[in-house]
Amino acid sequence: MRFLRISATWQKRVALIAGAVLLAWAGITLAILVNQLLTADERAAVTQQQAEAAAAEARIAKYRDSVAETAADLAERQDQLDEWSKESFGVDPSAVTEEVGTEAATGAAEPLKTSAIDPSLPPEAQALAQLEARQEAFAGKLLTAVNDRAAKAETAVAALGLNPAALVRNAAAGRGGPFIPYRGKMGKAKTLGPSFAALEGALFRMEVLERTLVAVPSGNPANVLMMSSGFGYRSDPFTGGGAMHAGLDFRGPIGTPILAAAPGKVVFVGQKSGYGNVVEVDHGQGILTRYAHLSGFTATVGKQVAAGEQIAKMGSTGRSTGSHLHFEVRLNGVAVNPRRFLEAKADVLEVKADARQRVGSVARGAR
């Protein structure tokens, strides 16, 4: 056997080298561990930053969507207000716009109280809230103006012996159609709100009452002075027995022009038993006028006629004792006394003239 002798000096050197190697390895290992820990923290920090950025982007997107949705909704409300103004006050709604006043025009004032914008959204959205407040003010002013007009029309209609509530109720009974939920411009289901609903109802009431006034036959159906028979029960001119007379008789020469008592559409030209030659004009709102015992016609079925326009000639056809006009006014098919319309007072006629001007402006604007 051979024995290898290592001197103490070499043993120390080997031990130092081994120790150095171990120390280096431990340092490297520690550095790796520290690096891994730092990298993990950085990754965690980056991940957190990304999550925060994503959340911020989501909030910004939600904010933008809310603002865009609100802006679109307000734009649609404004379109509706503009349309109602035009439909209800003619092609020039300046009379209504002036009613809004300085406060609504400038948008100045009160602290903003609105449901249009989530209060948690940034303050930039308050400009839209201010616009909504101005629209609400305008809608309120428009509602007041509409109610004032409707009240005047209601008083005039009642003075003619008609029932305003019944007229509105009957008009509302003829509505329908499939249910299609209202959606805003962003495609989300919405409602225009209670103020707009109140305005819509007031506009409908005003429209019915004013159109009824325009349809009322207040013009003289013939330029003659003699009324030979009134409305109601009388002695029959042929038999002498009691009979109901459903209109007014105006005596005059054969050929006297017969005039439309109100604007409307000719719906019948021909003969009816007992009436002889007849022309009927539909004025809308359930009001129809009948002109009977005529000697000739100057209007045809389907013609739109103005108040005072000639539609026929006076005669003595049918069950008649002499040349005259038998004039009837029918409301929803029932004969009513024409005198209440032909002898309307000046204040009623003034409201009617105002209503005719508005309805005429709307009709011209629609063409």
User: Would you say 214 and 355 are in contact if contact means Cβ atoms under 8 Å apart?
Assistant: yes
Separation between Cα atoms, residue 299 and residue 281, nearest integer Å: 10
Is residue 281 situated within a structural domain? yes
Each of the 367 residues of the chain gets a pLDDT tens digit; together they read: 666 666 777 667 777 887 788 888 888 888 887 777 777 766 777 677 767 666 666 665 555 556 666 666 777 777 777 777 776 665 444 444 444 444 333 444 344 444 444 555 555 566 676 677 777 777 778 888 888 889 999 998 888 888 899 888 888 776 666 765 655 555 554 555 667 778 888 888 998 998 888 888 888 898 887 677 777 777 777 777 777 788 889 999 999 999 999 999 999 999 999 999 999 999 988 899 999 999 999 999 999 999 899 999 999 999 898 999 999 999 888 898 888 888 777 778 888 888 887 776 444 444 3
Degrees (nearest 5) of the Cα angle 149, 150, 154? 120
How many domains is the chain built from? 1
Is residue 180 situated within a structural domain? no
Is residue 54 situated within a structural domain? no
Give 1: exposed, middle or buried? Use CB within 10 Å, 0-12, 13-18, 19+. exposed
pTM over cut 0.95: no
CATH number of the domain bearing residue 322:
2.70.70.10
Is residue 123 situated within a structural domain? no
Alpha-carbon separation of residue 184 from 13, 113, 216 (angstroms) = 89, 22, 40
Is residue 351 situated within a structural domain? no
Cβ partners under 8 Å of residue 230, min gap 6: 245, 248, 339
* CA-wise closest residue to 229 among 317, 326, 340: 326
Is residue 259 situated within a structural domain? yes
Is residue 309 situated within a structural domain? yes
Q: Residue 98, Cβ neighbours under 10 Å: how many?
A: 10
Q: Residue 289, Cβ neighbours under 10 Å: how many?
A: 25
- Please give the radius of gyration of the chain, using alpha carbons only, rounded to the nearest integer: 43
Segment (H or E) for 69: helix 8-89
User: Would you say 291 and 221 are in contact if contact means Cβ atoms under 8 Å apart?
Assistant: yes
The full DSSP string for 150-191 is HHHHHHHHHHTT--HHHHHHHHHTS--------B-TTS-B--
Is residue 108 situated within a structural domain? no
Degrees (nearest 5) of the Cα angle 48, 54, 58? 145
Helices and strands in the chain: count of H runs, count of E runs: 8, 13
Strands, sheet with 310-314, edge to edge from the N-terminal-most edge strand: 257-259, 310-314, 294-297
Separation between Cα atoms, residue 81 and residue 75, nearest integer Å: 10
Residue type, 310: Q
Which residues form the domain of 324?
A: 227-343
